[in-house]
Structure 1
Amino acid sequence: MLLDAGLMDLHERFAPGSLDAIVLTHYHPDHVQGLFHLRWGKGTPITVYGPPDSEGCADLFKHPGVLAFETVHKFEAFTVGALRLTPLPLLHSKPTLGYAIEGTQGQRFAYLTDTLGLPPKSAKFLRAWGDFDMAIDCSYPPHPTPKNHNDWDEAHRCAIESGARITWLTHAGHALDDWMMEETPSVASHIRLARDGSTADIPSQTQ
């Protein structure tokens, strides 16, 4: 399963038939642009789950090719293979869903981007969910009025509010990189900075 499809070389990264499904948070180009090449492939259709959005992105819905788009709805769980996903509404400039993902041994991981803060019902779900790790949008350095994306301070508030065991900060912009190199802020032990190629082992609930 692939979360979001912003990379332009998906057809090179994934062999035909190797993707069970693609799960989209929203239809902004930086999260779906890899689909424009992938759709013209041949073979078994690839299911693409995403939030309710009649516009989609450009002509993806009109000319889906091998992509089979399916709409998912907030708090209505669905499965991809052995994984159970619960869509969580987020706060962004386009209809956006994060996903609370649970494995067969109770591994729990929340993928929350793009967003500015967490809606109360999404935060409540996460607090009641049990032990989990998460990745969350942290696009900007501290800013008095961030828009559509978390800044450094808001991402940290979300980490605390949600009760996540480990929080990975992702979706970083160049301004955040510059600020971190200049300020070298202290980072709590439960906060990690996601980088290209980062991997994470998600513990089961029995560990």
Structure 2
Amino acid sequence: MGLFEKLFGAPTPQPGVFQLADGKLITAKEYGYASASGFINQPATEQFRDCYGNPKYGEYLPFTDEIVENPTVANLYFMALYTGIYHFYATGILRVDEQTSVDIKIGITDAAKDMRIPSGEALPENTKSSFIGASLGFSKAVAADIDEASRIDPRALRPILHSHSTKLLLSFIEQSYRKPRPDVSSLPSGIGAKHIARISEINNTSSQMLQILKNHLKIRFLKSQ
């Protein structure tokens, strides 16, 4: 330890920055904020509408009528899935440092504070917390999916609900719309071969988005000097 550190303490590590495809640099907090707002609003909402409204995917998923009537919560969980994918890309693929990871979470939290329900009011506090917790939960689920995919023979027959992130998404939604509220261990229910097109759409989300982040959006991490 040098004299300066003895007198004033060790310097606080500075987070790195993210570089976008156009060369623009954004901070870790901005990355976290955008990963829960601007970056993901359109794709998450489009996928939500496909899964619960587009007839081309065949048989509708359980609770579709209730969800179409009151879509806010289900749509929010789709957004949380995409936020989780961005979070995993930073922490699991780009391997950002600890301070950067902390700042990404701050950005996600700030975005949740700014979210509004259709009437224009801020989200209830418990809904904000649910979104943040779900986003980080999806990040872990995506990590589990990636790890499992690297170990399983791609030719092996897999169950319809083989994706950890898909099961988590449907579980969150079922808990929100099923009355009485079911036990977590019994989720999700009512999924069968007739839903395979819609489930496959969700199962593929993580791998497709990670490819987009890497090869199309070309998000890179630049460590602080």
Give the TM-score normalised by the residue count of structure 1: 0.27
Report the structure, 1 or 2, having the larger helix content. 2
**Greater RCO between the two (CA within 8 Å, min separation 6)?**
2
Give the TM-score normalised by the residue count of structure 2: 0.26
Structure possessing the higher radius of gyration over alpha carbons: 2
Report the structure, 1 or 2, having the larger strand content. 1
